[in-house]
Structure 1
Amino acid sequence: MELKKNKKYELESKRPMFFGIGMIVSLSLTLVAFEWRSPIDPVVETTPVIEEPWYVLEEPKVTKQEIPELPKPKVKKQVISAAVEIKEVEKLTKAIEQDKLEIDVQRAIDDAVSSEPLKIEVIDDTPFDVVEEMPEFPGGDAALLGFIAKNIKYPKAAQRIGVEGRVTLAFVIDESGAITNIEVIRGIGAGCDEEAIRVLKLLPNYSPGKQRGVPVKVRMRLPVNFQLQ
């Protein structure tokens, strides 16, 4: 007679399932053991408080000292008198007698001091920027540009290193039309600034600027272009 196993009570087929459940339970218990922390009571250190004694500062007493009034110095009136010393004049001729020579001092003082107020005339020498009649170069702007182009020389140092640009000069045309007070407002260096000033000094006189028909100083500017070809 052959014995047959009842599949309902056969545990061999369920072995993997029980093994997996056991592994999960053991891992869970291990994690719980690692994460378990016993509560630690915090230790609070107390420092004894030392009471410092209190000091009461009394407000210093200020004693008001009366300063005795100093006696006012007596000012002596000074009387300034002008003494006129008349030296004895030698007699040039017998016709002039010493006792007839009279000097009117008061009249001499009155003549020396004039009662009219002194008039001081203030001359404003500041150059104008704009006037009714602006200074003009002989022949106009075309002649000015032609003069500059004819006399300007490109500096060799600027040519060698390739310097180009515009040099702006400022100057003043005085009452006679002469060019004065030359200065460089914007330069490019390499000898170009000095060359522009040199040519500006060669310019002939302008016709002076006028304000209300009177020649005045006028401030002007002149750009000089340096360009290599």
Structure 2
Amino acid sequence: MEPKKNPKADLTRNSGLYFAIGLALVMFLAWQGLEWKNYEKDEAFNYKMDVDEELEEEIPITEMLKTPPPPPPPPAAPEIIEVVEDEEEVEETVIESTETSQDEVIEVEDVVEVEEPVDVDVPFAVIEDVPVFPGCENAKDKRACFQEMMLKHIRKNFRYPEVAQEMGIQGRVSVMFTIDKDGSITNVRMRGPDKNLEKEAQRIISKLPKMTPGKQRGRPVRVPFSIPITFKLQ
């Protein structure tokens, strides 16, 4: 049996397209209606600005009046001169000369030279009499004996800080100190890669014994000395 409805005459075939076009048209008209604005003529804003030109004021030219110089100061009053009668005798002041003639002989007492005490720092390398480390009193070369005893003292008292070992810190600490005029150790200074190593170097130097002070021209003087202490992990 053949269908009575012609498939070409289907009215719902393009209904979706027509619906979309109609919806878009309605939204466009609604948007135009919302955006429509109407301004009254009375409320129009005037963009013109009237600027009045300012007239230049004439500045009167005034002449500078020259002030007269101040009057000169009055002359000083003359000194009062006392009049002395001829009958009175005026004593004259006699000025004796302090210069001596060639014939006169001046006796000069013997001048005693006073030597000022030597109060300077003399380096260990140039001092005449080096400080004597205990045990080097009878050594022929006291300078070499001093350095050897210093190394022995460092080896004997050396102790690697545990904190530095755990952290793997090593390096060289430069130690500087002064052997004072009484043989004591003063002015100890350190410079190294770590504070723990510097403290250990200071502890070693603090254990140095009292020494015989160095002498320059036969007088005790302060002698600065420096030595490196190397901390190396095995």
Q: Shorter-chain TM-score: which interval? A: 0.3 to 0.5
- Report the TM-score when normalising by structure 2: 0.46
- Report the TM-score when normalising by structure 1: 0.47
